[in-house]
Structure 1
Amino acid sequence: MIQELAPTADDELIFLGDYIDRGPDSRDVIDQLIQLQSKCKVIPLRGNHEWMLQSVVSRGLDDAMWLRSGGKATVTSYGGSAQKIPKDHLAFFESLLPSYETEQEIFVHAMYDPSCDVESQSDELTYWTHLPASLPAPHHSGETRFRSGIRPSRPVKFCGTRTWFAWTLIVSAEGFSLRWTWNLRRSCKSIDTGTFVESPSSDLRC
């Protein structure tokens, strides 16, 4: 996906969280995100899985829930112990944002309350609550729209002029006018202008 986009220093890529706990190579995912920061502007948001890791490593939270939720694979990718997570990776996790706002859009990992200001959104909504089948109302600020990346009951893909993806992928690439789709386990739903459309596919294409 990154190779297809070929971002330059003028591009802004927004990631919606959950970079870890999704397979055997969480450490490599973080390495790639850190390296990508030297090529373009990277805006990485915090997902609930990064929240769990940080709570375990930095705030002494019991690790049982995290390990059951994919953390065991993440720990394995770091050599079998969370204490082996490199300092630059810990710094990356600490740098993650709860949300990101542009002139027209607000990006969050999970759900949102359209009646609340961005800074007043609760952690429960920001990190944990899945989007319902009926999407929430537009944000009270007017033209500003929320972009959310937490997955519903099945993997989804989001399509549009400014392409945005769930499942921890790139959300926005400034300057791109192509309409991208990306396969997620071969059976996906597209969301375009708020309408759910069945759209099975098997590869990345424009």
Structure 2
Amino acid sequence: MSSSTGRVIAIGDVHGCVHALDAVLDAIAPTAADEIVLLGDMIDNGRESKEVLDRILKLQQQCRVVLIEGNHEEMMLRARANEADLNYWMNCGGAVTLTSYHFPGRLKDIPDAHWQLIESCVPYYETADDIFTHANYLPELPMSEQPPHELRWTLFEPQEVRPHFSGKRVTVGHTEQRNGEILDLGYAACIDTACWRYGWLTALDRTTGEIWQASKWGVMREAGEEVHREKLGELIGTRVL
């Protein structure tokens, strides 16, 4: 349970986009009283997973940081078990993560501090008013009894989601909102806005409702959406309307 008197801010799936994470954290300007809850999938797909984990280690010196285990962290941890699990992770974004350490990357290139960071992830986090987890939840079960697959893999389908019996708001990531907008049902919200796919990294202050969003290039949305769109147009070789 939270004992903080500061803000409680959730950050969606970073997926190796360190410039977006830097921009969002600079805008938030966390203090020692704040809690930052990263909702999992901090790694894979984007090119800077190593740098993202380094940034989180620095963030831990500024404020309380809660790391939720996503399905990509689960795959990374399992990759140490055998070749089949390693190959599965490699095909789901792990190859890009290893390349952020060294090319060609190997598991041995990942430093102990980063393994320890991933191992410190928790399946969910609760405060007096809120629940945070990576993917989804069963509304009738306490969080301590939730199936791991539900917490890390199940898609957040608005027509199927129901309020948690505790009455607490739930905040998740995992299910990409490719329109760049938070999917807010009132009692539950999904804030994975597909940063690595040229969307936005979203941070949501659950105490005030304030929202921050940044592109993978580190441009804040409210100040630079046109710059973001122009950059995306250059990348795909056409004008983005």
TM-score calculated relative to the size of structure 1: 0.79
Report the 3-state secondary structure (helix = DSSP H, G, I; strand = E; otherwise coil) of the residue aligned with 2:139.
coil
Q: Which consecutive residues of structure 1, in runs of 5 or more, have no partner in the other structure? A: 186-201
After TM superposition, the structure 1 = structure 2 runs for residues 21-100 of structure 1, keeping only pairs within 5 Å, are 21-57=44-80, 59-60=81-82, 62-79=85-102, 80-100=105-125
Q: Which consecutive residues of structure 2, in runs of 5 or more, have no partner in the other structure? A: 1-23, 196-200, 224-241
Maintained 8 Å contact 2:133/2:173: yes
Cα distance per residue 1:130-157 (max 9 Å; x no partner)? 101325111112x212211112463644
Instruction: Report % sequence identity.
Output: 31
Question: What amino acid sits opposite 2:155 in the alignment?
Answer: H
What is the Cα deviation at residue 68 of structure 1?
A: 0.9
Cα distance per residue 1:37-96 (max 9 Å; x no partner)? 000111110110010000112x33521221111110001112111111101101101100
The CA RMSD measured in Å over matched residues stands at 2.7
Maintained 8 Å contact 1:17/1:45: yes
Q: Partner residue of 1:198?
A: none
**Structure 2 CA distance for aligned equivalents of residues 44 and 8 of structure 1:** 17
Cα distance per residue 1:110-143 (max 9 Å; x no partner)? 01100111011111111111101325111112x2
Maintained 8 Å contact 2:177/2:183: no
Higher relative contact order (CA 8 A, sep 6+): 2
Distance verdict in 2 for CA 1:156–1:117, change over 3 Å: farther
Distance verdict in 2 for CA 1:144–1:137, change over 3 Å: same
Report the 3-state secondary structure (helix = DSSP H, G, I; strand = E; otherwise coil) of the residue aligned with 1:133.
coil
Q: Partner residue of 1:126?
A: 151
From 211, 215, 218, the equivalent of 1:180 is 211
What is the Cα deviation at residue 174 of structure 1?
A: 7.0
**Structure 1 CA distance for aligned equivalents of residues 171 and 164 of structure 2:** 11
Question: What amino acid sits opposite 1:104 in the alignment?
Answer: D
Maintained 8 Å contact 1:11/1:41: yes
Greater CA deviation, 126-135 or 69-78?
126-135
Q: Partner residue of 1:189?
A: none
* Count of residues in Structure 1 that have an aligned counterpart in Structure 2: 185
Distance verdict in 2 for CA 1:114–1:159, change over 3 Å: closer
**Structure 1 CA distance for aligned equivalents of residues 123 and 181 of structure 2:** 22
Question: What amino acid sits opposite 2:158 in the alignment?
Answer: A
Maintained 8 Å contact 1:50/1:93: yes
**Structure 2 CA distance for aligned equivalents of residues 132 and 159 of structure 1:** 10
1:151 and 2:164 equivalent?
A: no
**Structure 1 CA distance for aligned equivalents of residues 134 and 51 of structure 2:** 21
Maintained 8 Å contact 2:76/2:89: yes
Q: Partner residue of 1:191?
A: none
